[in-house]
Structure 1
Amino acid sequence: MGELIEIPARGGKAVRVKKGQALKMINTHGHQVVDTWAFNAEDLTEFMSMEHLRAMLGTIFPKQGDSLYTNQRRPILVMEEDTSPGIHDTLMASCDVHRYRLLGCTEYHENCTDNLAASMKELGLVAPETPAPLNMWMNIPVADGGATSWEAPVSKAGDHVLLRAQMDCIVAMSACPQDIIPVNAGNPVEAHFEVLD
């Protein structure tokens, strides 16, 4: 087993994952969304892409057994296990200072976009852009006609996903700081992960 590492509440972490290794991401308390990115370790301009993933899978909900694709339409991760009900989001951009300003914040609010940059910086890297993330456990129902809403996660404490690397990659994760709308049940907390051989 690998070392259990905390993704701090409202913060981010990035980790190198070699081809064949797996990253086990744990929703420790059950209601925390984790914005997730993956970059080709040899070329950061190739990254997990939600628009390409949706086109390749033909669905907005990746599930256990699915490959997760890059902007070059290559598999970068495979979702080998998912113990949650499988409600994850591929539609919404990561939160940023602009989002919180629109929600009424007049001072700085932690956000997933900045968490991506900070977590990559810890590894001495700079992401070439902020791709749309795979929002693990985020519950964005889509109604008939296409209307979306922001709801609390349906996952439970200890649910996990296991992502198997299909190439050497950098996986970055942000324990989403959103506390204004209900996507984290109004209470952002820490999550955990470990890298497994």
Structure 2
Amino acid sequence: MMTDLHVVPARRGRAVRLAKGQAIQIINTHGQQVVDTWCFNADDMSEFMSMEHLHATLQGIFPATGDGLTTNRRRPILILEEDTSPGRHDTVIAACDVHRYAALGCTQYHDNCTDNLRAALGHLDLRTADCPAPLNLWMNIPVSPDGKITWGEPLSKPGDHVTLRAALDCIVVMSTCPQDMIPINGAACTPTEVHYRLIA
């Protein structure tokens, strides 16, 4: 059974509780929006989806349909059950923060995914001491044979979605990345809202 659609506004974050066996479908409504995504064990916030540990599990950097997304204790917390996009999601780049925008030349506060994570968790009266590296849904970071990266535009199209099923009781946090200085949210550099629904 699917619930109604919910929105994650542009440049903001949302946190959702999932029971083991439930799933969340995250929809790239306009097709070009990156969604920084985290997942924490609902019973122990010190266990979280970890990109460093995922690389060892996958022996690669791009998760595919059917893959378990592992925690810092090396067990699946989410299963990537469905992906209608070309499957290019980033597991290398840290969440943006005030320091990143300062390095890009911002002299005033800029919305950022790290603060969105903390704000979203705060609405559930939860907190995390650190910001784990996120699964950057639809973020296209091509890696060349010499290890250099480039900031690509998303390959996804409007309405593409991923379905993530909980392997543990967990908290999923989504941030519609506010990056508007380089084209990771498309050539227009304009962050947009995305939608999500829960699936029993």
TM-score (normalizing by structure 1): 0.99
1:165 corresponds to: 166
2:82 corresponds to: 81
Residue 196 of structure 1 is aligned with which of 184, 195, 199? 199
Give RMSD over aligned pairs.
Answer: 0.5
| Percent of aligned pairs sharing the same letter | 62
User: Does the 8 Å CA contact 1:44/1:128 hold for their aligned counterparts?
Assistant: no
Q: Which runs of no fewer than 5 residues in structure 1 stay unpaired? A: none
1:41 corresponds to: 42
User: Does the 8 Å CA contact 1:77/1:163 hold for their aligned counterparts?
Assistant: yes
1:30 corresponds to: 31
3-state SS of paired residue (1:113) = helix
1:63-109 per-position Cα deviation (integer Å, ceiling 9, x unaligned): 10100000000100000000000000000000000000000001100
3-state SS of paired residue (2:142) = coil
When the two structures are aligned, how many residues end up with a matched partner?
197
Alignment of 1:34-73 (within 5 A): 34-73=35-74
3-state SS of paired residue (1:76) = strand
1:18 corresponds to: 19
Deviation at 1:7, TM superposition (A): 0.7
Separation in 2, partners of 1:87, 1:56: 18
3-state SS of paired residue (1:156) = coil
1:139-161 per-position Cα deviation (integer Å, ceiling 9, x unaligned): 00001110001011000000000
